[in-house]
Amino acid sequence: MIDLSGSTPFAEGGNRKCFIHPAQSDRCLKVVHPGLLEKIIKNKPWYKKFRSKDSFDDNLREQEAYKQKALMVDNPEIWKHLAQWYGMVETNIGMASETELIKSNGQIAETLENYLFSNGLTNEIKIAINEFHQWLRDNLILTKNLIPHNLVIKNEKDEMIIKIIDGLGSQAFVPLPKYSSFFAERYVERRIELMWSRINWDLSGRKGNWK
């Protein structure tokens, strides 16, 4: 068991806290907030209360997302824009999803959201975003909506590389993209379209609905 008693999360979202692995500084441990799953179930409509608690667990969803067909191939390029996943591990505050901790120039990588708010839509980041989108198309990686705070930027050999750190997996109600390349292509294009919509919404003051 990994003891996180003396650790402070370096990032915290609505569902999980992120810690640096105390024994491996290049790995991230994502732990669901204590009591969150019970709270989520309590606030769901009555017809969703019949689902198992596990179905609301972001760590288990992430585990399933890393099993998608596109990631089962032996191709190093698959990981160019995606944090590696190492499995589930037990900690003193609950089970953790253990992933690669993306760093840039020795520091925890900056989120795309933070970069955009600080620098705007620069030519450099446009190139990085377009290259990231082409990777999604080429490999048909299934993701949820690509929100800028779930993406980070790694500077490598004078190149800005966008990497997914959260939000992997299909959110299609009918899971056709998991089994059909035709539907996967349409699904990926929609995620790309929505990512641009979200970026423009963020940079325009977040007025109205970005979807």
Domain harbouring 16, CATH code: 3.30.200
| Tokens coding 74 | 């032996």
Assess whether 114 and 17 both reside in one domain.
no
Confidence of residue 60 (pLDDT cuts 50, 70, 90): very high
Both 135 and 118 in one domain: the answer is yes
Q: Please, what's the b/e burial string for 159-178 (b: 16 or more CB within 10 A of its CB; e: otherwise)?
A: ebbbbbbbbbbbebeeeebb
Q: Are residues 35 and 114 in the same domain?
A: no
Whether residues 200 and 138 fall in one domain: yes
The rounded distance, in Å, linking the Cα atoms of 35 and 26 is: 28
Residue 185 pLDDT more than 90? Answer: yes
What's the confidence (pLDDT) of residue 103?
96
Which run of H or of E encompasses 85?
strand 85-91
Cβ–Cβ < 8 Å for 31, 17 = yes
CA distance 110 to 46: 39
Instruction: Give the chain's domain count.
Output: 2
| Mean pLDDT in residue range 56-71 | 92
- DSSP string of 139-176? HT--BS---GGGEEEEEETTEEEEEE-S-BS---SS-H
The pLDDT of residue 54 is 63
**Global pTM?**
0.91
CA distance 161 to 77: 12
Alpha-helix runs per DSSP H in 29-74: 36-43, 58-65
Pair 54, 128 in one domain: no
123 with 153, same domain: the answer is yes
What would the mean pLDDT of 134-146 be, rounded to a whole number? 97
Please give the residue that has the higher pLDDT: either 75 or 82.
Answer: 82
CATH code of 112's domain: 1.10.510.10
| Distance from C-alpha of 169 to C-alpha of 8, rounded to nearest angstrom | 28
Q: What is the pLDDT of residue 14?
A: 84
pLDDT in tens, 23-48: 999 999 999 988 766 776 666 665 56
**Mean pLDDT, to the nearest integer, of 182-190?**
97
Calculate the dihedral angle through the C-alpha atoms of 158, 108, 60, 195, rounding to the nearest 10 degrees.
-50
Statement to judge: residues 168 and 204 lie in one domain: yes
Residues 146 and 197 in one domain: yes
- For residue 154, pLDDT beyond 90: yes
Query: Does 49 have pLDDT greater than 60?
Result: no
| pLDDT category of residue 183 using cuts at 50, 70 and 90 | very high
For residues 106 and 178, membership in a common domain is answered with yes
Last residue of a domain, one of 51, 68, 101: 101
Domain residue limits at 68: 1-76+84-101
The rounded distance, in Å, linking the Cα atoms of 29 and 95 is: 9
Q: State whether 47 and 89 are in the same domain.
A: yes
Q: Which whole number is the average pLDDT over 134-162? A: 95
Same domain, residue pair 110 and 190: yes
pLDDT of 209 strictly over 70: yes
pLDDT value of position 156: 87
Same domain, yes or no, for 61 and 164?
Answer: no
pLDDT in tens, 77-102: 999 999 999 999 999 999 999 999 99
